[in-house]
Structure formats: C-alpha cells, structure tokens
Amino acid sequence: MQLFGLKNCDTCRKALKLLPEATLVDVRADGVPDDVLERAYAEFEGKLVNTRSTTWRELSDAERETPALDLLRAHPALMKRPLIEDDGKLYLGWDKSVQQALLPE
C-alpha cells in the first residue's frame, strides 16, 4: 500500500497512523509516478486538483487554465491528499468511505 501525500499534512499523518502497512510517498520530494497520476485522473478527474490549497491560490489565472495533469506534474502539492494505492485500487482523500474500505472492522 502506498500513500501519496505530504509528510507534514495532518490528514496524511492521520491516515498513516491508522494504516501502518502504508508507505508514504512525499509528492513534493518524489512526485507521483506518471502511470499512477494518469490512472488517478482518469478515475477522479477534477476532484484530484485541490482548489482550496495555498498552492492553488498562488497560481495566476493563466496557470489555472493549464490542463490538470500538466498542472499536477508541475505542482504535485496541488493534488488532493492523500491518494492511496492498495492492490491496484485507488482511493482519494480520507473520508469515512475510504476509511471503511481500508480499515479492518
């Protein structure tokens, strides 16, 4: 299980604490592999870009018009976090539905 996020993100830390088998991939330091990013975008589309982030607010209007995949490659911290890959299945965020799917009863 891989958790793509930021090491200083509170939500990512909460998820890691409850998913001890998960390995953190810091997207700011390591990026997201293209195949994972493309699969995630195909599945989650616009939900993958966190438009409430500080990074988003700092972008110019012209930069915001950039295609989402190019924007995420240039600014990986723009991705909604965490993105979790478990046995080929992708999960986005850390809401109740993701927790129910990944945490043992």
Q: Which helix (H) or strand (E) holds 102?
A: helix 96-102
**Maximum distance among all alpha carbons in the chain?**
46
- Set 3, 9, 19, 32: catalytic member: 9
Q: Which helix (H) or strand (E) holds 100?
A: helix 96-102
| Catalytic status, residue 12 | no
Residues taking part in catalysis? 9
